[in-house]
Amino acid sequence: MAASPSRPASVPVIVPVTSPEERGRCLTGIAGLDNILDGGIPRGNMVLLAGSVGTGKTTLSLEFLVRGAERGERSMFLSVTEASAKLIENLSSFEFFKKELMESGLLTFVDVPTIYDKLGMDQEELSVDDIDLLIRTIGGLVKELGVRRMVLDSLTSVCYRIRREERIRDFLLRLGRTLSELHCTTILVSEFGSTAGRYSLHGVEEAIVDGVILLGNTRRQGDILRVLQVIKMRATSHSRAQYVMELTPIGLLMAPHLKGGRPEAS
Ligand SMILES: Nc1ncnc2c1ncn2[C@@H]1O[C@H](COP(=O)(O)OP(=O)(O)OP(=O)(O)O)[C@@H](O)[C@H]1O
Ligand SMILES: [Mg+2]
């Protein structure tokens, strides 16, 4: 008689400890985006937020952190390109921002150039040891502060100093592993639109990260509209359509990109 293909009842089914269901979702809190992502970013994912200049990368990242802090999740913004004081000043013009979130320690800003200075990273190109120290420092901050949401603005600036492709690959793999183990959901800003099918400085970045969200501009009847599209997001189904993204005082708003009365094919 042929052996039964079904598993005997006595053999336990092994469920991976990090299944998306167990890890849960990190609700971005950005109107419309959680629906696009079928319930939010799978917790612990590292997501590349790519877009050319002025497409809203920093604003989306800041709202992601503010919405998390409002839910009691510790949130940290690692700023490379803009001084924190200036970012906070801009953020203050949005109605959704509340200063108490910073006073209570739920929302923290850290200037990466200060980290470089403190760690004595004064060479233009970061060495293997520097990269190792940078990962351990970021991981240490996340662990010490209990950070559940983090933004690095921008990954591109850090990659300019890492320079070599194989080191960028190693940096991202190790950073991703460290942050995921700490259940920290991360947005890495990439200052690239989808030029030549690439979303990052070297093109390896998007292959390593768990998700890619693309911001861009499109023209409609003489206006330039901001648009958002989820290119990939591991561990969840998601819409691949293009959405119009509006920056309003109460936060970002997503709406289907209509063309001739129908959502435009992406
Ligand atoms: N407080 C605000 N209220 C309304 N609109 C704003 C506000 N701050 C920024 N914007 C709009 O968003 C645009 C830039 O947004 P943001 O800084 O998030 O983009 P970015 O993609 O991070 O830009 P960059 O590539 O320069 O870093 C501005 O040009 C402006 O049109
Ligand atoms: Mg920016």
Q: Which of 152, 176, 144 is nearest to 18 (CA)?
A: 176
Please state, in angstroms and rounded to a whole number, the distance separating the CA atoms of residues 17 and 23.
Answer: 8
β-bridge partners, 180: none
Which class for 96: exposed (0-12), middle (13-18), buried (19 or more C-beta within 10 A)?
middle
Residue nearest to atom 31 of ligand 1 (CA): 54
**Domain 26-263 belongs to what architecture?**
3-Layer(aba) Sandwich (3.40)
- The residue-averaged pLDDT of 4-29 equals 57
pLDDT on residue 20: 44
pLDDT on residue 259: 61
User: Of the bound ligands, which one is closest to the alpha carbon of residue 49?
Assistant: 1
Q: What is this structure's pTM?
A: 0.89
Residue nearest to atom 30 of ligand 1 (CA): 54
Domain boundaries, the chain: 26-263
pLDDT on residue 64: 98
